């Protein structure tokens, strides 16, 4: 159940108040680009879930890299959360998504808290007291904000950062056994940031330009790391940190080969939704996770005038 006082409409309104309303663009992660390729799962993943895209045969994917801001004109060199959203096209014609970001945890446990956070982070004179007030009400946000500095630094490339799918999911195997997992995308060549002044010299769209140059040299690859949540770890709290002493398996390899030019043109609308799961994967009761789909529906309708497409 979605346990929130705030409505999806109010949440999207708060984001627009923070970044402005930009016709035709997402409320958050407004600036981005699309790539396409394939994902091939490992036998270790197939042993943990019966999900169709985790059985080993390569499946087509569309990936959207983005900057977290709701302003599509924000330059790439500004410190920001970066996003990596992946859509898997399954053999039966259905789809499932993973939505990930460079900051490894969410600032709040509830949608109401998130709206408070968005309002507290709005630049202006009032920020001097709004942010401390927010942190007093939501102490769970402080560790994540302290650790977010590195994740907000300008990356050398969209392809040189880790991306964390901050929610836990329940994986069910062929025999009916279940366990909770979290995902993260790990770049093949390792992580690399660049100094802010160098990023600025590269230009406002350097991340978009760089990924094109990188694709010209060969595929962009990420490994999907799957962390099995340990007994007693919270599975419905996106503010909780990742633990490094639990079981982690390589879930598969993502290979991106070219730009996706056939989507989001001529009125086409593409939606990445972490609650769009398939048989073998189930949602937890995480309030933030459960709230995302209705909030996305509001944002989609406002930017496109249509209801939820695939």
Residues tagged active-site: 29
Distance CA 144, CA 149 (A): 9
- CA-to-CA dists, residue 283 to 170, 179, 183, angstroms: 6, 12, 14
Burial (Cβ within 10 Å: 0-12, 13-18, ≥19) of residue 204: middle
Ramachandran class of 203: left when φ > 0, alpha when ψ lies in -120 to 50, beta otherwise: left
Q: Are 183 and 224 in contact (CB under 8 A)?
A: yes
Distance CA 282, CA 302 (A): 29
Tell me if residue 159 falls in helix, strand or coil. helix
Q: Provide the H-helix boundaries in 73-157.
A: 111-120, 127-137, 141-146, 149-152
Beta bridge partners of 254: 39, 222
Residue 144 CA to its chain's centroid (Å): 16
Burial (Cβ within 10 Å: 0-12, 13-18, ≥19) of residue 131: middle
């Amino acid at each position: 159940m979605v346990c929130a006082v705030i409505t999806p409409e109010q949440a999207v309104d708060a984001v627009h108040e923070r970044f402005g309303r930009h016709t035709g663009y997402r409320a958050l992660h407004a600036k981005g680009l699309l790539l396409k390729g394939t994902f091939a799962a490992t036998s270790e993943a197939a042993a943990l879930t019966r999900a169709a895209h985790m059985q080993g045969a390569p499946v087509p994917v569309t990936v959207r890299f983005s900057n977290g801001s709701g302003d599509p004109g924000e330059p790439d060199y500004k410190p920001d959360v970066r996003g990596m959203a992946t859509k898997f096209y399954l053999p039966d014609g259905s789809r499932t998504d993973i939505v990930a970001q460079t900051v490894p945890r969410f600032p709040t446990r509830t949608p109401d808290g998130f709206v408070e956070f968005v309002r507290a982070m709005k630049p202006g004179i009032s920020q001097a007291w709004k942010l401390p007030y927010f942190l007093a009400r939501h102490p769970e946000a402080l560790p994540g904000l302290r650790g977010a500095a590195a994740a907000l630094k300008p990356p050398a490339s969209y392809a040189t950062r880790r991306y964390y799918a901050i929610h836990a999911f329940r994986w069910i195997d062929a025999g009916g056994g279940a366990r909770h997992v979290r995902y993260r995308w790990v770049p093949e060549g390792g992580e690399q940031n660049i100094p802010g002044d160098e990023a600025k010299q590269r230009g406002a769209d350097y991340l978009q330009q760089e990924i094109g140059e990188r694709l010209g040299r060969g595929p962009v690859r990420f490994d999907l790391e799957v962390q099995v949540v340990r007994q007693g770890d919270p599975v419905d709290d996106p503010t909780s940190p990742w633990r490094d002493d639990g079981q982690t398996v390589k879930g598969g390899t993502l290979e991106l080969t070219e730009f996706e030019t056939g989507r989001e043109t001529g009125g086409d609308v593409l939606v990445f939704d972490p609650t769009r799961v398939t048989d073998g994967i189930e949602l937890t009761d995480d309030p933030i996770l459960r709230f995302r789909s209705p909030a996305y529906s509001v944002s989609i309708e406002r930017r496109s005038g249509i209801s939820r497409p695939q």
